[in-house]
Chains A and B, each alone.
Chain A
Amino acid sequence: MSTTTIAATDLELSDEGFFVHPEQWTEDMVPELARRDGIDVLTDAHWQVIRFMRAEYFEKGTGPTVRVLGKTSGVSIKQLYQLFPKGPAKIAAKIAGIPKPRGCI
């Protein structure tokens, strides 16, 4: 567990860097969160995935896996990996301020 400050808000993060309190997240934190994971330019497709992750999390209690994202977010698996090379579901969850998605496939 660690704390950090983004957009003038003190945040509690897990050891892997995921939000402990998803309700603390705001959209103006996204550019800084993305930068920390090596994404300097945010496209509409990034935003589409990030918003989808959050919506799924609040609806289902866990963020979607890459397979679910590929099937339901409107962004293909190939494109997901282009947008988030270090792991689409994992990195998008970090940037979307939700816990790490749990699921093996």
Chain B
Amino acid sequence: MGDTIEKVSIIISKGSLDAIYPGLIMANGARAEGIEANLFFTFFGLDAIHKARHEHIKLATVGNPGLHFATLLGGLPGVSTVMTHYMNSKMEKLDIPSIPEFIEMIADTGAGMYACKASVDLFGLEKNDFIPQVQDIITVGEFYEKAAGGQIIFT
């Protein structure tokens, strides 16, 4: 069975829309293929599972050359909001779920969801700040125990 993937552990480390979606799509896609999947949120990636913040995830408009407009422009007030709105409406047309809906769906597929202890401590957060789908706040050592025997994907 060396040519099949049985398990993946996906780390989401950034908090922008364009940084969160790929990890979620990979996790959801893994479950759809019958692959066991864990999601591990660290640093600003924690925003994806933060009760108050996960509905307000923004597209990165500064330091994002993929947008093909001047960095100076991307930093103007409101630009990130407008671009996020544009991106969200495009995704809605393609029936791509919003981040909160997507995370709930991925939890329903049976994927594990964990927050990184070091980041949680750093930002002064606690379990109650996260959506109920988050199973636990775990250390890096515990993450490796959970990831054992599978592939690790860092995003």
Classify the interface of chain A: helix, strand, loop or mixed. helix
Chain B nearest CB, measured from A83 CB (Å):
12
**Residue B25 CB within 8 A of the other chain:** yes
> How many residue-residue contacts, CB under 8 A, span A and B?
42
Within 8 A of A (CB), among B74-127: 95-97, 102, 105, 108-110
Q: B27-35, B48-56, B144-152: which one contacts chain A?
A: B27-35
Chain B nearest CB, measured from A58 CB (Å):
21
**Residue A51 CB within 8 A of the other chain:** no
A: contact size bracket? 10 to 19
Asked whether, in the complex, the Cβ of A76 is within 8 Å of the Cβ of B108, the reply is yes
Q: With the chains together, A104 CA to B105 CA distance in Å?
A: 14
Within 8 A of A (CB), among B1-36: 25, 28-29, 31-34
Asked whether, in the complex, the Cβ of B105 is within 8 Å of the Cβ of A90, the reply is no
Asked whether, in the complex, the Cβ of B108 is within 8 Å of the Cβ of A81, the reply is yes
Give 1 or 0 for each of A17-28: 1 = CB within 8 Å of chain B CB: 000000000000
Collect the chain B residues with CB atoms within 8 Å of residue A104's CB: 25, 29
Asked whether, in the complex, the Cβ of A88 is within 8 Å of the Cβ of B32, the reply is yes
Asked whether, in the complex, the Cβ of A90 is within 8 Å of the Cβ of B109, the reply is no
Known contacts A104-B25, A105-B28, A105-B96; A66 and B109 CB within 8 A of each other: yes
Collect the chain B residues with CB atoms within 8 Å of residue A105's CB: 25, 28-29, 95-97, 102
Asked whether, in the complex, the Cβ of A87 is within 8 Å of the Cβ of B33, the reply is yes
Q: With the chains together, A70 CA to B102 CA distance in Å?
A: 12
Within 8 A of B (CB), among A58-97: 65-68, 70, 76-78, 81, 85-91
Give the residue among A70, A88, A104 with the most B Cβ atoms within 10 A: A104
Query: Can you spell out 14 A-B residue pairs with CB atoms less than 8 angstroms apart?
Result: A67-B97, A77-B108, A77-B109, A78-B108, A81-B108, A87-B33, A90-B33, A90-B34, A104-B25, A104-B29, A105-B25, A105-B29, A105-B95, A105-B97
By a beta-carbon cutoff of 8 Å, the part of chain A in contact with chain B is 65-68, 70, 76-78, 81, 85-91, 104-105
New contact pairs (10) apart from A67-B105, A105-B97, CB-CB < 8 Å = A65-B32, A67-B97, A76-B108, A77-B105, A86-B34, A87-B31, A90-B34, A91-B34, A105-B29, A105-B95
